[in-house]
A and B are shown apart, each in its own frame.
Chain A
Amino acid sequence: MKYCVTNCHFTKNRRFCHNIGTPDGEMRLRTAHQLTVDNDGVLDTIALGRVVSRATIVREICHHLAPYQVGEKPINGATVIAKDLTIDSLAIMDMVMELEDRFDVSIPMNVIAEIHTVDQLADTIQDLRAR
């Protein structure tokens, strides 16, 4: 249970609740005292434990990409972000900014340019968190 943190993140008019799982990605129960609430995405990430499961990262990315899904084709690790979805390059960079604050990392633009799949993006975030 060491890594179980529940996090709430308000953006303009959306409200995301995140259950950060254990390293194997399994969801655990929320507890009220573990709630961190903030409205700019900065404070809440500080409360995030250093170790976040890869499954959590992938889930978060897929959540951001859901509005750009084409037909019934599911979004998963192998999804090529710019090709398989209707998202444009600017929206990709905006999504990355949200992910940066969510996971408390900065992904340089030249690195973003080299990322094609959801898996690659998740790996990048995980690598940066390990630094």
Chain B
Amino acid sequence: MGLFDRHAGLLEAYRTVRTTGQDPFHIRMERVLSPTEAIIDGKKTLLVGTNNYFGLTFDPSCMDAAIEAIRAEGTGTTGSRIANGSYNEHMALEHEIAEFYGKKHCMVFTTGYQANLGVIPGLVGQGDFLLIDADSHASIYDACKMTQAEVIRFKHNDPSSLDARLRRISERKEGDREANRLVVLEGIYSMLGDSAPLKEFVEVCKRYGAYVLIDEAHSLGALGEHGRGLCEAAGVLDDCHFIVGTFSKTLGAIGGYCVSDDPDFDILRVTVRSYMFTASSPPSIVASVRQALRVVKARPELRKQLWDNVATLYDGLAGQGFKLGPEHGPVVGVHLPDRETAIAFWRAMLDAGIYVNVATPPATPNGVSLLRCSLCAVHTRAQLEHMVEVMAGIGRQMGLLPPAKARAASGR
């Protein structure tokens, strides 16, 4: 058996995708021009699929901070913090993020993926219980493979489903010590843009003495009066024992973090392998993230712009008859009947100069195929209205939407 035989099914699927046109999973950005535009296939293309929620990748103050840091401290750290030491910038960033949340401790990771991968198994082990939402991100699923804890899934965004599972654990006879229970949630889910009923979840967790870890990857900046995420918007920041997030979306760089009030939290620095055995963030990244966090605090209008843009796209597409995720969110998932349709639709959009993501099973919940759009505070209204028009045209052409006349006649 060849080493790649196990991937035969995937290889076959990709061969078909590649031979029929542009491959949605190997797109080349020939040149990125701004947070909202890039040259793809020689053509200026509108970007509506890059998680660049505040558009900070080209923020002049963040870019300047990064450039200065390179000049001052070089391009990289060439090792992990336990081997090569922490730079002042790392410590300052951790202090600032902890302060942002009003928590005592913060640990910064090289990516958000590594934060979940490391922190979660660092918190629960043999004899403990890890309860995860069924629609959790891959980094959370991968973390489940790294722990000896019993991993139990509950139905997506369903506090009663979590309740039933915590109840069963508490009714179990065996086990002589009080097992720890850790519940993992996300602020905004990355495929359909829906947010967790966090208040209800927290109530359930309190009833059973379970710890809460929330991943605010897609909600940092977007939710809460100060942009802290769903934990702030739902008024339960103090009840979220661990908050994980990423620098790769709203903050426009790369990296991850976890904050907590637990007095022993720092022990994770010498136990978590994804922190100990990988190089730390380079000075330029840390500097731009610190500046981006200042921008998030100083410019709440970016949050309003983002949500205004969400409304324009979501309501526009809904008005055209597209089936969307359940609520407004910085991610707008457009349901399409199957994988082939999704890819064909995606290609038609790219031809029309608009880039979004295609999401197909198994990366999506319930086997759905989606066009995944993510909004940016600096998209213009005109750009998004144009996008709605383009998508409506393609939808009609592909027979996914009723013809324009019929819709007009029905009073839409």
Q: Is there an interface contact between B151 and A110, defined as CB atoms closer than 8 Å?
A: yes
Instruction: Decide if A29 is an interface residue (CB 8 Å cutoff).
Output: no
Known: A40-B161, A131-B173. A105 touches B168 (CB 8 A): yes
Instruction: Decide if A119 is an interface residue (CB 8 Å cutoff).
Output: no
Contact with A along B103-119 (1 / 0, CB 8 A): 00000000000000000
CB contact between A97 and one of B144, B153, B160 (< 8 Å): that residue:
B153
Q: Which residue of A lies closest to B152 (CB)?
A: A106
Instruction: Decide if A32 is an interface residue (CB 8 Å cutoff).
Output: no
Q: Is there an interface contact between B144 and A40, defined as CB atoms closer than 8 Å?
A: no
Contact with A along B351-379 (1 / 0, CB 8 A): 00000000001100111000000000000
Q: Which residue of A lies closest to B141 (CB)?
A: A109
Q: Which residue of B lies closest to A110 (CB)?
A: B151
Contact with B along A88-108 (1 / 0, CB 8 A): 111101101100110011111
Known: A42-B160, A88-B362, A89-B362. A106 touches B165 (CB 8 A): yes
Instruction: Decide if B176 is an interface residue (CB 8 Å cutoff).
Output: no
CB contact between B366 and one of A94, A100, A104 (< 8 Å): that residue:
A94
Q: Is there an interface contact between B144 and A109, defined as CB atoms closer than 8 Å?
A: yes
Q: Is there an interface contact between A88 and B152, defined as CB atoms closer than 8 Å?
A: no
Q: Is there an interface contact between A131 and B172, defined as CB atoms closer than 8 Å?
A: yes
Q: Which residue of B lies closest to A98 (CB)?
A: B155
Number of interface residues of B (CB under 8 A): 24
Contact with B along A20-57 (1 / 0, CB 8 A): 00000000000000000000111001000000000000
Q: Is there an interface contact between B362 and A90, defined as CB atoms closer than 8 Å?
A: yes
Q: Is there an interface contact between A90 and B153, defined as CB atoms closer than 8 Å?
A: no
Instruction: Decide if B398 is an interface residue (CB 8 Å cutoff).
Output: no
With a cutoff of 8 Å between Cβ atoms, the chain B residues found around residue A105 in the complex are: 168
Contact with A along B166-180 (1 / 0, CB 8 A): 001100111000000
Of residues 225 through 246 on chain B, the ones whose CB sits less than 8 Å from some CB of chain A are none
Q: Is there an interface contact between A106 and B169, defined as CB atoms closer than 8 Å?
A: yes
With a cutoff of 8 Å between Cβ atoms, the chain B residues found around residue A93 in the complex are: 134, 153
Instruction: Decide if B150 is an interface residue (CB 8 Å cutoff).
Output: yes
Counting contact residues on chain A (CB < 8 A from B), the size range is 20 to 34
Instruction: Decide if B154 is an interface residue (CB 8 Å cutoff).
Output: yes
With a cutoff of 8 Å between Cβ atoms, the chain A residues found around residue B151 in the complex are: 108-110
Which of B158, B169, B174: most chain A CB closer than 10 A? Answer: B158
Known: A89-B362, A109-B144, A131-B173. A40 touches B158 (CB 8 A): yes
Q: Which residue of A lies closest to B367 (CB)?
A: A91
Tell me the bound Cα distance from A104 to B144 in angstroms. 23
Which of B134, B160, B169, B367: most chain A CB closer than 10 A? Answer: B160
Q: Is there an interface contact between B173 and A90, defined as CB atoms closer than 8 Å?
A: no
Tell me the bound Cα distance from A91 to B161 in angstroms. 17
Q: Is there an interface contact between A88 and B361, defined as CB atoms closer than 8 Å?
A: yes
Tell me the bound Cα distance from A45 to B172 in angstroms. 16
Q: Is there an interface contact between A106 and B168, defined as CB atoms closer than 8 Å?
A: yes
Tell me the bound Cα distance from A96 to B161 in angstroms. 13
Tell me the bound Cα distance from A108 to B366 in angstroms. 20
Tell me the bound Cα distance from A96 to B365 in angstroms. 15
Tell me the bound Cα distance from A104 to B165 in angstroms. 9
In the assembled complex, 16 residue pairs joining A and B whose CB atoms fall closer than 8 Å, in A order, are A40-B161, A88-B362, A90-B362, A93-B134, A97-B134, A97-B154, A101-B161, A104-B164, A106-B150, A106-B165, A108-B150, A108-B151, A108-B152, A109-B153, A110-B150, A131-B174
Q: Nearest 7 CB-CB pairs, A to B?
A: A108-B150, A109-B151, A42-B164, A40-B160, A106-B152, A106-B168, A90-B362
Q: B residues within 8 Å of A by Cβ?
A: 134, 144, 150-155, 158, 160-161, 163-165, 168-169, 172-174, 361-362, 365-367
**Given A90-B361, A101-B164, 11 further pairs, Cβ under 8 A:** A42-B164, A90-B362, A90-B365, A100-B165, A104-B164, A105-B168, A106-B150, A108-B151, A108-B152, A109-B144, A131-B173
